[in-house]
Structure formats: C-alpha cells, structure tokens
Structure 1
Amino acid sequence: MDEHEATVLRSLIGAVSGLLNDRAAEAPEDELTQLTGLRPGNPVAPDDPQLLRLLPDFHRAEPGSPDAKRADLNAALRSLHEPEIIESKLAAGRVVLETCPESGGKIVLNSDQADAWLAALTDVRLALGTLLDIDDETPDHLDPDDPRAPHLDVYHWLTWMQDSLLQALNP
C-alpha cells in the first residue's frame, strides 16, 4: 500500500470510528449503569443514514404487515446489543489503524487481523455507499463533473481491497 492509500484508508476508518464513538456517547446512563458498569445502548434508531446502515434494526416487519411490536422489540434489542456491536466495529477499526503503516508499505496480517480488516472495510464501504447513495443502478463510473465521482472511485478501491483480501485468505 502506498502512502496516499494508507492515508485515505486511515482517514476513512477514523471517520467511521468517529460516527460510532458519537453514537456510543449518546447512550443513556442510569442508576443500574452506575452500579454495574454495564452501559445500555441507545434504544432509538440513529437519525444519521450512515449510522442507520451500520446499526440497522434487528427486526424488520414484513412489507405491508402492521407490526406494532417491532419498535418495542428493536428498542429492547438496541439497548441490549448496540454497545457490543459498536465496540466490535471500533475494535476492527483499531486493528486496521494499528496494522496499516502511516507511510504505506507491506501489510502482513494474521488470521484475526485479516478478519478485522474485512469487517472494517465492510463498515467503511457501507458508510461511504450510503453517503454516495449507491444502489444496484449506480453506474460503475460517474460523469467527471459529478461531485461523487472521486468518492465512487474510492468505493471501488475499497471493494477491490476487500476482494483481494478475501482471495488471499482463500487461495
């Protein structure tokens, strides 16, 4: 990885980690938290589309079916599991930051580190893809005048990195 690529990747990991840290800081604290040290997650789904993509609802109702219990179930599951999910995503990002040399260079990963890279790359791609509004109909290349064009190139680069890592793990 060259220095520019390392800088871009480290910056993207930092941005996603910042979103996740901000979300974790919004979690309510109560007396039980103070007594046990266990932090509940925020029971309310994130407003930010990137965070909502990174922390989706646990339960989705079938289209067209009224499911009044869904909101209560999602709130309970978020309170229970969101802190662990956020910590897992942050830990994966830390592994990338620890193993990606700031000035670029060869990256050698053990199996656990490679898994963390895959998870962190997925999170960055989800966040960037949401920001760029990427869907099945997004062309591979945008008009150079489109302000999203350079970012789409980064998205494709992240996809290539993820694919390359998967191929290296499964020879």
Structure 2
Amino acid sequence: MKKWSRTGDQVLGRFDRQEAAVVRGLVSQIQDMLAARADEAPQDELAELTGIRTGPSTPPDDPILGRLLPDFHRLDPDAPDPSDVDSANALRSLHEPELLDLKTGVAAVVLDTCPADGGEVRLGLEQAEAWLSALNDVRLALGTALDVQEDMPEELPPDDPRSPHLGVYHWLTWVQETLVEAVMD
C-alpha cells in the first residue's frame, strides 16, 4: 500500500491482495467478537415494549473486548463503593448496545469498501472516519493481544511468537496515520 491521498472530498488508497486480506480478516474478527457480545444482551420485555435496549451489565471477561468496551464509570480499585459498582453496571447496560452498534457499523463500512482481492479504495470523508475508527479498534485489539507497551522495541527477537504480529500492528499504525493525514489535508 502506498500512502492514502485526498482529492476534494474523496480519500484514495490502494491495497494489494494480501494487505486487503489482512485488513478484512482482522476487521471481520473484531466484528464477530462484538456481535457475540451483543448476543449476550439480556432479553427484556420492557425493552421490547419501549424500544430501549439494554446490554450486559458486567464488563466482558475477554481482555480484548474489555479494551474495546471499557467501563463507562471507573471504579476505585482500592475501595469500590457498592453504589459505584451499581452505577457502573447500569451505565454499561444502557450504553453498551449503542457502542456495539457504532463499532459493528464502522467495521461494516470497511468490509463494504475494501475490495477482497485488493485494488483501489475510494472513500467519502464519512467513510474515511469509519475506517479510522475501525482501524483503531483493530489496533487496540491487536495491541492488547500482543501486550504492546510504550517501551516495547520496534522489533522483537525472531523467536518471540509475537514478532510477526507486531509487524502487522506497526503496518496498521502506518495505514491509520496516513489516513489521518489524508483526511486532514
């Protein structure tokens, strides 16, 4: 892939077959994880009558989903107040369905606009914003899985099982950075 570019209200990119497969595969995995989490939502008769959906009230057990769906209210880890726990659970239950919709929606934009066999990608500015959000989600998930730290070296020893995946993480960072630059032009 070469850098994203912008012409008027269009942002242009080009992915070869392998790059498109990586983007589509990772975005699909995130979308599947988020859809599975949405399926965990409790069935609520009142929600069916009012149209107000509720989601799970507890944070995900999976650290990747926990990173993608953080708490809406931070608890004091040293002395959690029971009323704070109740507030955090209530906020999660109310807001997580909307967050899941947003995240699966931006993933769908990427999957709709990234050609499976590679090729040119033409995005409107709103689609480019969706790409930025979806790429951020993929980088958060991959960074969590790889335990990326601020002081981590650019390359890991070849015998480290995370080494090839770290290269993908850095490439996605570059794709996201050049997309930001193109959108801001």
Same fold (TM over 0.5): yes
Letter in 2 for 1:105: G
Deviation, 1:71, is 1.4
C-alpha distance in 1 between matches for 2:134 and 2:104: 8
Cross-structure match for 1:102: 116
Q: Which has the higher contact order (CA 8 A, sep 6+)?
A: 2
Cross-structure match for 1:136: 150
Cross-structure match for 1:18: 32
Alignment pair present for 1:148 and 2:162: yes
Deviation, 1:68, is 3.3
Deviation, 1:26, is 0.3
What is the DSSP-based 3-state SS (H/G/I as helix, E as strand, rest coil) of the residue aligned with 2:139?
A: helix
Alignment pair present for 1:124 and 2:124: no
Equivalent residues in 2 for 1:8-157 (5 A)?
8-61=22-75, 64=78, 66-157=80-171
C-alpha distance in 1 between matches for 2:58 and 2:163: 33
C-alpha distance in 2 between matches for 1:144 and 1:45: 35
**Contact 1:95–1:113 (CA<8 Å) still a contact in 2?**
yes
Compare 3-12 and 70-79 and name the one that shifted more: 70-79
Unaligned runs of 5+ in 1: none
Deviation, 1:66, is 4.4
User: Percent of aligned positions with the same letter in both sequences?
Assistant: 54
Alignment pair present for 1:168 and 2:182: yes
**Contact 1:93–1:116 (CA<8 Å) still a contact in 2?**
yes
**Contact 1:29–1:39 (CA<8 Å) still a contact in 2?**
no
What is the DSSP-based 3-state SS (H/G/I as helix, E as strand, rest coil) of the residue aligned with 1:121?
A: helix
C-alpha distance in 2 between matches for 1:36 and 1:85: 19
Unaligned runs of 5+ in 2: 1-14
**Contact 2:75–2:85 (CA<8 Å) still a contact in 1?**
no
**Contact 1:58–1:74 (CA<8 Å) still a contact in 2?**
yes
- Say which structure is richer in strand: 2
Aligned residues: 171
Deviation, 1:58, is 1.1
TM-score, with length taken from structure 1: 0.95
Moved over 6 A (4+): none
TM-score, with length taken from structure 2: 0.88
